[in-house]
Amino acid sequence: MMLRVAVALAWQKKRVGGMRMPSTAARAVHALKDENCPILISPSLVSLDLPDIWASNPTPHDFPSAHKCSNEQNAAIIDGKSTAEEIMSRIAFEVKRMKESIGKAPGLAVIMVGQRRDSQTYVRNKIKACGEAGIMSMMTELPDNCKEDEVLNALSRFNEDPSVHGILVQLPLPQHLDEAKILDVLSLEKDVDGFHPLNMGNLALRGREPLFIPCTPKGCIELLIRSGVEIMGKRAVVIGRSNIVGLPTSLLLQLQECLTWFVAIG
């Protein structure tokens, strides 16, 4: 699926000189090397701890998908399709190697309540991506008028299932369901959407690191980094402040020392 992220940054006339980079030994980045398919595991996005290939000033050869700005006020449109394909192929390789090594594959469970078309599309794409990467997937679908206990029971089953390593509760939920209560029950170690209160709280605190980060905000920052955009010292506007996208995006930008504003919509 084509992923396009349009990012408008107001570039300061006086650029901040370079990103502070910690020593190589301190980096939480691991490269798994193979003759046919080297794997680069992207670093934590809650710190400035970036790989060497992202630390230096990028060139067009290093980042072919990035479009140069002709002046300081121009916006850059970043096409994430090639980046997504690269990440997907590397994940598929890792999963294949995991199966060969220990005879197991990661398992993802999805809980979807209702028949929202947008949610159905998101879930369908997630299941498709799992198939392409070799990840086992399973889904529980519940009607719009289901009881809260039905959602909690399905969630508890997945929490206790050792073959399930990640759980997604597709949001938004119908209004009669207590979203906060449901997310509280979700196992912290399986909260791959990063919406558990402890994961969101750790994202907001300096010196803390969540087990998972919401995928859309993380993807936006990943694209900026891979496209050679220096985030530190820039000014960014985040349109919308939802718990799913807007809020975690602003937190990630602030942790990269980017001055951030919210624009409320609706």
Cα 210 from chain centre: 12
**Residue in 193, 255, 217, 220 with CA at minimum distance from that of residue 83:** 220
Name the burial class of residue 80, with classes exposed (0-12), middle (13-18) and buried (19+) by CB atoms within 10 angstroms of its CB. Answer: buried
Tokens of 250: 């602003």
CA–CA separation, 139 and 38 (whole Å): 32
Angle among Cα 122, 126, 129 to the nearest 5 degrees reads 140
C-alpha to C-alpha distance for 120 and 50, rounded to whole angstroms: 35
The position carrying tokens 């906060």 is 180
For residue 78, what are the β-bridge partners? 5
Q: Which two tokens stand for residue 198?
A: 């402890």
Q: Which of 219, 222, 224, 225 is nearest to 245 (CA)?
A: 219
- State the sign of the Cα–Cα–Cα–Cα dihedral 223, 226, 228, 230: positive
Show which residues are catalytic. Answer: 126, 170, 193
- In this structure, are residues 212 and 199 in contact, taking their beta carbons and an 8 Å threshold? yes
